[in-house]
Amino acid sequence: MSDQDLAIKKGFMHRLEKIDFRILVWALFIITVVIRLFYFFQTYSQPVWWDEGDYMNLARAWAFGKPGWDLNPLRPVLFPLIVAVLMKVGFSELLFRIISILFSLLAIFITYKLGKSMYNKYVGIFAATMLAFFWSFLFFTFRLLVDIPVASLWLLSLYLFWQGHENNSKRHLIFLGPAIALTFLMKFTGALVALAILIYLLATEGFRWLKNKTLWKTAAFGFTIALPYFIFQWAKFGSPFAFYTRAIGMMAPNPRSFFRTLMDYILQIIPLMHIVYLVLFIIGFIIALRIFFCLDLLRTNKHKELRADLLTMLSFMIPMLYLIYIGYGLYIEERYSFLSYPLMFILAGNALCFIYLKAAKIHKIIGIILVVLLLGFGSYQNLVHANSAIKEKVNSFIQVKEAGKLIQESGSADDVVVSFHTQAELQYHANRRVMGIAGKNETELRDILKKDKVSFYVANIFVQPNPESIWKVAFPYQHPEIFTIIGAYEPYIDQEKKIPILAVFKVNQTAL
């Protein structure tokens, strides 16, 4: 950085220091809370999706024993365990949605703290603002999923490491291991933060870090917290690493090369932040590439920003590369990359400071105006997108929720329900045991309905049935002596408007 740049930067910082920086932080916090409360009151009663139903059914089964729900070894346990404990003491879904908002706020706050610690407080506030308005992060704040909480714990782990190791704070470093363990238990890919830190240590210190006793202590602390889960996996699934071996075993062959999948991620995931944030990220990424020209300087503590660039790059690239490797390239969804986005916004925040320095050479006021316009317009773009997505999806699968309420009101707690699709969502809303519709033909299906004492049959078509199974949708309509329709929900899927997208039938066991 030239002497002129340093002078401009010093002048910019001095001018901003005249404003109490806490006002900016509090303003962002208040705006962020207000926006989340606004959408919370629109979404707190929205129907759950499959993954939400999976977690919530598991939590309810752990809390009360029924209706039962099988644990998939791929599912992390920390979130449903927290929900189960809260359910057991009497709390409802409303609290769980509030907790999701609190995790969202925590992620934004830690992004500010991390950016401030690694670069400066302006990078921190810029990055936190981008994350606060990022449309997908805002959208999933109101879903009962693990992606927001794991992002919060991921960022916390990085912050504890940077403060503890780079700023020599043992009280931060000692909690690093537990934070990583909780990140892993919230979502298994969260353990990749340990890999990012390990590579960083090897790149900056070689093997000198092995002499750091505090690192060994915090690693032991974290392993102790995670150990019961490995024992549980071993006891239930036959391997302490069943969560990983099942993931590898269930991978479908990827018809594309790793490079093709990588390009798909670059072209689909990264541009989702919209043009302003995207351009800022690209500039920040290019700036961070300076680490490859200064590798010899990484092992000195005199070049803090270079070391920050390295950790930031590792922390956003490793989880994305892992997703591509493990096979998520077949189904790309941006929430799987919530571990990466906050670090990308930190790079974008650093780019925003860089842009100011260049613009301020013309006039300092121009630099400030440019920063405000870029950050403001980028946030506006994302907020408009978030508003559209939230309103569009707020009533998705409302038919399943209404059907669940109807079933709950029309029978008893021991009722068994079969459903063509959306079993997880239906079981959560009905609070009744829900299974898929088994049987290869009508005779087998009748026998199963009788054997399992099924009380309700739900014919729903939210996806196109395969030809071998479509008869299961028509079956209850063809046998009114067995099935009595008690609820039908639009839209209709046929031109005659006789078959709704979801219908609930009461099963007459004596007629089977």
81 pLDDT more than 60: yes
Domain boundary residue, one of 375, 393, 411:
393
Confidence of residue 328 (pLDDT cuts 50, 70, 90): low
Helix (H, G, I), strand (E, B) or coil at 415: coil
- Burial (CB < 10 A; 0-12, 13-18, 19+), residue 86, is middle
Q: What is the Cα–Cα distance from 103 to 152, expressed in whole angstroms?
A: 6
Which domain-ending residue is among 367, 393, 419?
393
Give yes or no for residue 16 having a pLDDT over 60.
no
- 467 upstream amide cis, omega within 30 of 0: no
How much is the average pLDDT of 103-114?
97
Distances (CA, A) of 288 to 128, 198, 312: 19, 19, 9
Q: Residue 343: is its pLDDT beyond 60?
A: yes
User: Is residue 6 very low, low, confident or very high in pLDDT (cuts 50, 70, 90)?
Assistant: low
Judgement on whether residues 172 and 251 belong to the same structural domain of the protein: yes
pLDDT band at 13 (very low <50, low <70, confident <90, very high): low
Q: How confident is the model at residue 156 (pLDDT cuts 50, 70, 90)?
A: very high
Which residue in this structure is represented by tokens 């504890």?
A: 160
Q: Band of the pLDDT at 217, cuts 50, 70, 90?
A: very high
The answer to whether the beta carbons of residues 108 and 154 sit under 8 Å apart is no
CB of 395 closer than 8 Å to CB of 49:
no
Of 70-74, 294-298, 399-403, 422-426, the range with the lowest mean pLDDT is 294-298
pLDDT tens, 464-480? Answer: 778 888 899 889 999 99
Among 59-63, 136-140, 158-162, 357-361, the minimum mean pLDDT is found in 357-361
- The whole-number pLDDT of residue 405 equals 97
Domain co-membership, 383 together with 507: no
Query: For 262-267, what is the mean pLDDT?
Result: 84
- Let me know whether 142 and 182 are in one domain: yes
Domain check: are 123 and 180 in the same one? yes
By C-alpha distance, which of 426, 433, 419 is closest to 398? 426
| CB-CB contact of 72 with 54 (8 Å) | yes
**Listed residues 337, 369, 393: the one ending a domain:** 393
DSSP character at residue 66: -
115 and 25 within one domain: yes
Same-domain check for residues 334 and 416? no
Total domain count for the chain?
2
Q: Do residues 32 and 93 both lie within one domain?
A: yes
**pLDDT recorded at residue 158:** 98
**CATH number of the CATH domain containing 447:** 3.40.190
Tens-digit pLDDT profile for residues 274-301: 999 999 999 999 999 999 888 777 877 7
**404 and 387 within one domain:** no
Rounded Cα distance, 489 and 7, in Å: 67
SS (H, E, C) 291-349: HHHCHHHCCCCCCHHHHHHHHHHHHHHHHHHHHHHHCHHHCCCHHHHCCCHHHHHHHHH
Residue 12 has pLDDT above 80, yes or no: no
Which residue shows structure tokens 């790793």?
Answer: 258
User: Which residues form the domain of 433?
Assistant: 398-511
Beta-strand relationship, 483-492 and 500-507 = antiparallel
| Whether residues 181 and 129 fall in one domain | yes
SS3 435: strand
Same domain, 367 and 404: no
| CA distances, 3 to each of 9, 10, 17, 305, 366 (Å) | 10, 10, 21, 18, 20
Residues 184 and 129 in one domain: yes
Looking at the structure, do residues 495 and 452 belong to the same domain, yes or no? yes
